[in-house]
Chain A
Amino acid sequence: EAGVTQFPSHSVIEKGQTVTLRCDPISGHDNLYWYRRVMGKEIKFLLHFVKESKQDESGMPNNRFLAERTGGTYSTLKVQPAELEDSGVYFCASSQDWDSGILTDTQYFGPGTRLTVL
């Protein structure tokens, strides 16, 4: 079974440009999460999708970040315009739907996208 995949693995852009990160969850996983780690800090939650709906976006830093999950499959995270402080590693995770009878929805993480804003 394929794991969570993320694209690209690395992205280097200049301040003010736009970048779009993509996450493909494990097939059949309705829950999709975005996290990020900025330099020297801990991994922080950004938002959570259930299928195509945003369940919790309390961790989104500001309105320069836009996440979508059209059709409830893959998700994109767009940063527009990018700022220097957006540099870091962006992780995506997915978990099975609650209705699958799983008492705790263990999240499986992708390898991350390393974003560098110059």
Chain B
Amino acid sequence: DAKTTQPPSMDCAEGRAANLPCNHSTISGNEYVYWYRQIHSQGPQYIIHGLKNNETNEMASLIITEDRKSSTLILPHATLRDTAVYYCIVRSDNYGQNFVFGPGTRLSVLP
């Protein structure tokens, strides 16, 4: 079973920031938080990951709370192309661990 809880769906206005929450209250010390998204019927696309520090790349920012029990993925200026299902996944850094996908959050970016 997935170790994370996400809202099933969210809407966001085009051009605005999309803030996608994720709860992972049982996260262990060696577990990373990963975010992937799946646009329509494509394969899951890697977005970002982090351990305890906030992370930013060209796609998004990841804010992890100090107690690491929750995190927020931020898409700073959402576009229509960001409409997708977003998956928050907790995964240890042990060698070769597979990803356990939950149902994710379906983000709809509205014009």
A interface with B by C-beta (< 8 Å):
4, 31, 33, 35, 42-45, 48, 50, 55-56, 59, 89, 91, 93, 98, 103-112, 114
Q: How large is the interface on B (under 10, 10 to 19, 20 to 34, 35 or more residues)?
A: 20 to 34
User: In this complex, what residue of A is CB-closest to B1?
Assistant: A42
| Contact, CB under 8 Å: A111 / B49 | no
CB A73 to nearest CB in B, in angstroms, measures 18
> Which residue of A31, A91, A103, A105 contacts B44 across the interface (Cβ within 8 Å)?
A91
Bound-state CA distance A98–B44 (Å) is 21
| Contact, CB under 8 Å: B43 / A109 | yes
Bound-state CA distance A112–B100 (Å) is 17
| Contact, CB under 8 Å: A43 / B45 | no
Bound-state CA distance A105–B32 (Å) is 11
User: In this complex, what residue of A is CB-closest to B98?
Assistant: A45
A-B contact pairs, 30 of them (CB 8 A): A31-B96, A33-B98, A42-B2, A42-B101, A43-B44, A43-B101, A44-B101, A45-B98, A45-B99, A48-B98, A50-B96, A56-B96, A56-B98, A89-B41, A91-B43, A91-B44, A103-B93, A104-B49, A104-B91, A104-B93, A105-B95, A106-B46, A107-B46, A108-B46, A109-B36, A109-B44, A109-B46, A111-B42, A112-B42, A114-B41
